[in-house]
């Protein structure tokens, strides 16, 4: 998988928010599913950063579930 490392935190948050809204999923649940961290989204909103590995795991969940929904 190729990840665009220029993706901004806001873009990631927007994608996660949309993903959760479309599925009726809590953002904390998304964090637990993606990276075993229920506070992931809250920390990003508060200005936290993530590693490239974490971004790859987030992208994998977003892509896998998008493919399954299609």
pLDDT at 53: 96
pLDDT tens sequence for the chain (70 residues): 555 555 799 999 999 999 999 999 999 999 999 999 999 999 999 999 999 999 999 999 999 876 665 5
Is 68 a member of any domain?
Answer: no
pLDDT at 7: 72
26-52 burial: b if 16+ Cβ within 10 Å, else e: ebeebbebbbebeebbeebeeeeebee
Number of domains in the chain: 1
Is 17 a member of any domain?
Answer: yes
pLDDT at 23: 96
Question: Where in the sequence is the domain holding 40, given as residue range(s)?
Answer: 9-63
Q: Using CA atoms, how far apart are residues 54 and 58, in angstroms rounded to an integer?
A: 6
Find the helix or strand (DSSP H, E) in which 45 lies: helix 40-45
Is 32 a member of any domain?
Answer: yes
Please give the backbone phi and psi of residue 2, each rounded to the nearest 5 degrees, phi first: -105, 130
């Amino acid at each position: 998988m190729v990840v665009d490392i220029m993706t901004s935190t806001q873009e990631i948050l927007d994608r996660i928010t949309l993903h959760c809204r479309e599925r009726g999923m809590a953002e904390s649940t998304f964090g637990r599913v993606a990276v075993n961290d229920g506070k992931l989204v809250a920390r990003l909103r508060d200005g936290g950063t993530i590693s490239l590995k974490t971004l790859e795991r987030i992208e994998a969940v977003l892509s896998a579930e998008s493919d399954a929904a299609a």
